[in-house]
């Protein structure tokens, strides 16, 4: 007996060594190598992504500088300074305001902006955010590198030249200049802006991992424009990239960067191995002479800094010790209780620990194997049930997520349909809603149904499978082919199905719809499928109730804003009811243009609040019966800006503020406050401009009676293409012709 125990113990020790220690060592080595490989791939992905992000950010800076300086020159002051010499001082002030505004758009990167006429004289200049004194202005800018090239490009283009040292700031800057072309074709001046090169360094530092990655930007001549480890002062020249390191691998990368290639390489830099990713900066402006590339580097030793072989060896030794201890303990105790353990394991597999199993076998190990096989079989069945329950739980979690994220039923229902068909096999799935009178069902979300059927069908309550469930408000499980006489007036798609489940959607208000799934194949629906679908439908009912409450809340918000607008109108007896009329007109015209519901909602709020700025205008001016003085008219013209400032204090109304600010702009650019023109003016503001004018003409005012409708229409047509967008005028007149909104005044 002693010999048997020793023999078994020896065999167990050998077996545990083979099964435990050797695979443990192999796994440790494999894990170590795989970890190194994974780290390398992750770091490569990171630095390649960082290089692309920096290139994209700098490209965006170029594009933003180009678009903003072009947008700036839309300001009429840039041309009227020459066209209206008698108002030069006024237009000069406007030019100064424009460049001060430009400095605020680029608070971190703007160095200088100026207006230079064709003979080289500087008319105005803003350095950082300060206006230069007239005595500080240059009398000859013709020698600057950007001056001559800017006069060679066409109107509407921007020359973005290579960096140079600004004589005004003594810093490296990037010039951005565009010509000002007068109506006679003469290029009279240039608008010029300088961006600080050092700002590129902050772009890189915001993207790169501090103290881990290094990066630099290089031009096509091999000059380093900016680097994370360099501070280039104004009097210093850009260093050559090839002068920093002589290794062949590094020089090869520099040459590829000069050729505007992208890639990833291992290089030798400062005597160490580095990983480097490089990418050219995309340039969309053909007059941008800055063909640059970005490089991001990281020492290769930093990639594997967190990995030490000793740690893996300690894990192997620790695991080996545990294996040996377990072998000794198990071997010394396993012989006597082996049969008992096998019998207990068998009972455990059956789920009853109080009974003894009668399992045949040659020895105790055979019994143990048989018992564990049975236990595994039992556990597998339980696992399958748990997986199904987990699938239900995941779907319910998704539904709960929809409840939180999508209060609009139009957004929720397609996602619910997808969740159902991923949960339960089906060939068709539909969510049908009852009408207000609870007489007909219509499809609100579906899968597997023909488009024509979805659009045209109105299923009467009581007809077909879904109609039967809606009538009786009971869930229905159909197994096998449906008998032709079981339901009244089958729907077309219900005739060929071999199984179906249909569940009523019920809320506090009673039944509101039906969810149906069906199959045409061999799959047979069971009670468990119906139970899972009922769980989803219960949560769908909650979602629909949530959507209804959300709609009521939105209506309450709208009514609150309407009350605010009506309170404002008490200041001006002649515009009473003005906002309400504008809302109805605006929605009708916006719908004709096919604006999305979200934009129509913004238009609605803007129409209500577009004159809220009149709160800041004295009543004596608003209700003055006679002609306004210039000063009074100037105060009235401030109401869009006042209104926008009031509205943007409410975060949810920030998009509305820009519409309010621009609703007095004109199609020809002669409006206020910015003189925007054409399609640069948002569509919503163009719509309100037309509606506001029509309503003003057809309403009694302090200085005149309401004009006849035909007179107002004639005035809109006369001003179409000058004051108003012609397309908006045509759409509005079409609405009046159809008399859809009942606002035509006789």
What DSSP string describes 266-281? EEEETTEEEEEEEEEP
Sign of CA dihedral 516, 520, 525, 529: negative
Task: For residue 413, name the pLDDT band (cuts at 50, 70, 90).
Answer: confident
3-state SS, one letter per residue, for 518-555? EECCCCCCCHHHHHHHHHHHHHHHHHHHHHHHHHHHHH
Q: Rounded distance, CA 526 to CA 513, Å?
A: 23
Task: For residue 610, name the pLDDT band (cuts at 50, 70, 90).
Answer: confident
Total residues belonging to the chain: 746
Task: For residue 409, name the pLDDT band (cuts at 50, 70, 90).
Answer: low
Q: Rounded distance, CA 417 to CA 539, Å?
A: 13
pLDDT tens profile 74-87: 999 999 999 999 99
What is the average pLDDT across 171-194? 95
646-662 in b/e burial notation, b at 16+ Cβ within 10 A? Answer: bbbeeeebebbbbbbbb
What is the average pLDDT across 99-128? 93
**CA-based nearest residue to 457, from 495, 491, 484:** 491
What is the average pLDDT across 301-306? 77
pLDDT tens profile 535-585: 888 877 777 776 666 666 555 555 556 556 555 555 544 444 555 666 777
Q: Rounded distance, CA 281 to CA 290, Å?
A: 9
Neighbours of 604 (CB within 10 A): 21
End-to-end, the C-alpha distance of the chain in Å comes to 118
CATH topology of domain 1-333: Beta-Lactamase (3.30.450)
Using an 8 Å Cβ cutoff, are 626 and 703 in contact? yes
Q: Rounded distance, CA 9 to CA 14, Å?
A: 9
Q: Indicate whether 435 pLDDT > 90.
A: no
313-350 in b/e burial notation, b at 16+ Cβ within 10 A? Answer: eeebeebbeebeeebeeebeebeeebeebbbbbbbbbe
What is the average pLDDT across 589-613? 86
Question: Residue 126's Cα: distance from chain center in Å?
Answer: 36
In the chain, % of residues over pLDDT 70: 75
Region(s) of the chain under CATH 3.30.450.20:
1-333
Q: Indicate whether 149 pLDDT > 80.
A: yes
Q: What kind and span of H or E run contains 516?
A: strand 510-519
Task: For residue 142, name the pLDDT band (cuts at 50, 70, 90).
Answer: very high
Q: Rounded distance, CA 258 to CA 291, Å?
A: 9
**CA-based nearest residue to 355, from 343, 365, 372, 367:** 343
Residue 404: CA count within 13 A, CB half-sphere:
5
Q: What pLDDT score was predicted for residue 75?
A: 93
Q: Tell whether omega for the bond before 513 is within 30 degrees of 0, i.e. cis.
A: no
Lowest-confidence pick of 208-217, 262-271, 695-704: 695-704
**CA-based nearest residue to 636, from 650, 620, 649, 647:** 620
Structure tokens at 177: 């200049």
Sign of CA dihedral 740, 742, 745, 746: positive
Using an 8 Å Cβ cutoff, are 47 and 40 in contact? no
CATH code, residues 570-738 = 1.10.3210.10
Residue 249: CA count within 13 A, CB half-sphere:
15
Q: What pLDDT score was predicted for residue 538?
A: 82
Q: Rounded distance, CA 336 to CA 342, Å?
A: 11
- Most confident listed range (15-19, 375-379, 472-476): 472-476
- Residue at token pair 């490209």: 59
Structure tokens at 20: 């435990």
Q: What pLDDT score was predicted for residue 5?
A: 46
CB within 8 A of 381, min separation 6: which ones?
none
Q: What share of the chain is helix, strand, coil (3-state, %, to 5)?
A: 55, 15, 30
379-401 in b/e burial notation, b at 16+ Cβ within 10 A? Answer: eeeeeeeeeeeeebeebbebbee
Q: What pLDDT score was predicted for residue 141?
A: 92
Q: What pLDDT score was predicted for residue 139?
A: 93
Q: Rounded distance, CA 623 to CA 489, Å?
A: 68
Structure tokens at 736: 């009046």
- Most confident listed range (99-108, 457-466, 487-496): 99-108
Mean pLDDT of the chain: 81
Task: For residue 744, name the pLDDT band (cuts at 50, 70, 90).
Answer: very low
Q: Rounded distance, CA 197 to CA 166, Å?
A: 11
Q: Which residue has the higher pLDDT, 461 or 619?
A: 461
What is the average pLDDT across 22-45? 80
Task: For residue 180, name the pLDDT band (cuts at 50, 70, 90).
Answer: very high
What is the average pLDDT across 367-376? 56
CATH code, residues 406-538 = 3.30.450.40
Whether the predicted model's global pTM rises above the 0.75 cut: no
Region(s) of the chain under CATH 1.10.3210.10:
570-738
Q: Indicate whether 615 pLDDT > 90.
A: no
Structure tokens at 366: 């055979």
Q: Which residue has the higher pLDDT, 20 or 63?
A: 63
Q: Which residue has the higher pLDDT, 647 or 454?
A: 647
The phi, psi pair for 121, rounded to 5°, reads -80, 140
What is the average pLDDT across 591-609? 86
Q: Indicate whether 67 pLDDT > 70.
A: yes
Q: What pLDDT score was predicted for residue 81?
A: 95
Using an 8 Å Cβ cutoff, are 674 and 75 in contact? yes
Q: What kind and span of H or E run contains 477?
A: strand 476-479
- Most confident listed range (49-63, 312-326, 571-585): 49-63
Question: Residue 242's Cα: distance from chain center in Å?
Answer: 41
Task: For residue 153, name the pLDDT band (cuts at 50, 70, 90).
Answer: very high
Q: What burial class does residue 248 get, using C-beta atoms within 10 Å of its C-beta: 0-12 exposed, 13-18 middle, 19+ buried? A: exposed
Q: Rounded distance, CA 294 to CA 208, Å?
A: 12
What is the average pLDDT across 157-175? 93
Q: What Å distances lie between residue 130 and 96, 100, 111, 322, 540, CA to CA?
A: 10, 7, 10, 75, 60
Q: Indicate whether 513 pLDDT > 70.
A: yes
**CA-based nearest residue to 291, from 221, 235, 220, 340:** 220
């Amino acid at each position: 007996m002693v010999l048997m125990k020793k023999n078994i113990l020896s065999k167990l020790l050998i077996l545990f060594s083979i099964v435990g220690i050797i695979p443990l060592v192999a796994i440790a080595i494999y894990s170590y190598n795989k970890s190194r490989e994974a780290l390398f791939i992750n770091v490569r992905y990171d630095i390649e992504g960082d290089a692309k992000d920096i290139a994209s950010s700098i490209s965006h800076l170029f594009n933003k500088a180009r678009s903003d300086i072009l947008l700036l020159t839309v300001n009429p002051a840039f041309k009227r300074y020459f066209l209206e010499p008698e108002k030069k001082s006024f237009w000069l002030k406007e030019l100064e305001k424009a460049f001060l505004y430009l400095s605020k758009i680029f608070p971190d990167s703007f160095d200088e902006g100026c207006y230079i006429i064709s003979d080289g004289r500087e008319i105005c200049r803003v350095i950082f955010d300060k206006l230069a004194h007239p005595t500080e202005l240059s009398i000859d800018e013709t020698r600057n590198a950007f001056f001559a090239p800017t006069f060679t490009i066409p109107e509407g283009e921007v020359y973005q030249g290579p960096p140079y040292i600004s004589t005004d700031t003594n810093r490296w800057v990037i010039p951005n200049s565009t010509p000002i072309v007068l109506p006679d074709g003469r290029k009279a001046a240039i608008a010029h802006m300088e961006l600080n090169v050092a700002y590129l360094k902050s772009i890189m530092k915001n993207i790169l991992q501090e103290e881990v990655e290094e990066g630099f930007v290089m031009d096509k001549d091999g000059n380093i424009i900016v680097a994370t480890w360099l501070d280039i002062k104004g009097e210093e020249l850009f260093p050559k990239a090839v002068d920093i390191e002589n290794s062949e691998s590094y020089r090869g990368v520099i040459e590829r960067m000069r050729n505007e290639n992208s890639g990833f390489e291992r290089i030798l830099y400062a005597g160490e191995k580095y990983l480097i990713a490089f990418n050219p900066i995309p340039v969309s402006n053909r007059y941008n002479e800055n063909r640059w590339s970005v490089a991001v580097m990281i020492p290769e030793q930093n990639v594997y800094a967190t990995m030490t072989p000793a740690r893996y060896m300690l894990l192997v030794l620790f695991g080996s010790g545990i294996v040996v201890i377990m072998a000794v303990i198990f071997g010394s105790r396993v012989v006597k209780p082996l049969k008992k353990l096998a019998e207990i394991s068998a009972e455990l597999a059956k789920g009853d620990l109080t009974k003894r199993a009668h399992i045949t076998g040659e020895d105790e190990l055979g019994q143990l194997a048989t018992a564990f096989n049975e236990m595994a079989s039992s556990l597998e069945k339980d696992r399958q049930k748990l997986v199904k329950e987990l699938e239900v739980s995941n779907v319910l979690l998704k539904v709960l997520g929809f409840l939180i994220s999508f209060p609009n039923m139009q957004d929720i229902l397609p996602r619910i349909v997808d969740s159902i068909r991923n949960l339960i096999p089906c060939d068709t799935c539909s969510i049908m809603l009852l009408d207000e009178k609870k007489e007909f069902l219509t499809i609100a979300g579906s899968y597997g149904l023909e488009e024509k059927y979805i659009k045209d069908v109105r299923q009467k309550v009581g007809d077909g499978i879904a109609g039967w469930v809606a009538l009786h408000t009971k869930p229905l499980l159909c197994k096998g082919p449906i008998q032709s006489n079981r339901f009244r007036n089958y729907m077309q798609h219900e005739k060929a199905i071999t199984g179906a489940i249909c569940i009523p959607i019920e809320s506090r208000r009673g039944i509101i719809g039906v969810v149906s799934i069906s199959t045409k194949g061999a799959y047979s629906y069971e009670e468990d499928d119906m139970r899972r679908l009922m769980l989803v439908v219960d949560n769908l009912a909650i979602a629909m109730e949530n959507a209804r409450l959300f709609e009521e809340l939105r209506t309450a918000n709208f009514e609150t804003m309407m009350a605010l607008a009506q309170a404002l109108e008490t200041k001006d007896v002649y515009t009473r009811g003005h906002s309400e009329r504008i809302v109805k007109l605006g929605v009708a015209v916006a719908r004709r243009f096919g604006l999305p519901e979200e934009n129509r909602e913004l238009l609605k709020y803007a129409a209500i609040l577009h004159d809220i700025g009149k709160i800041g205008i004295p009543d004596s001016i608003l209700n003055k019966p006679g002609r306004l003085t210039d000063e009074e008219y100037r105060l009235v013209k401030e109401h869009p800006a006042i209104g926008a400032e009031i509205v943007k204090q409410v975060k949810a109304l920030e998009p509305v503020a820009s519409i309010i600010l621009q609703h007095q702009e004109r199609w020809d650019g002669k409006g206020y406050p910015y003189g925007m023109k054409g399609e640069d003016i948002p569509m919503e503001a163009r719509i309100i401009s037309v509606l506001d004018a029509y309503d003003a003409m057809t309403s009694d005012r302090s200085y005149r009676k309401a004009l006849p409708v035909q007179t107002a229409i004639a005035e809109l047509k006369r001003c179409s293409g000058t004051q108003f967008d012609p397309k908006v005028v045509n759409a509005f007149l079409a609405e009046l012709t159809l008399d859809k909104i009942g606002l035509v005044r006789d």
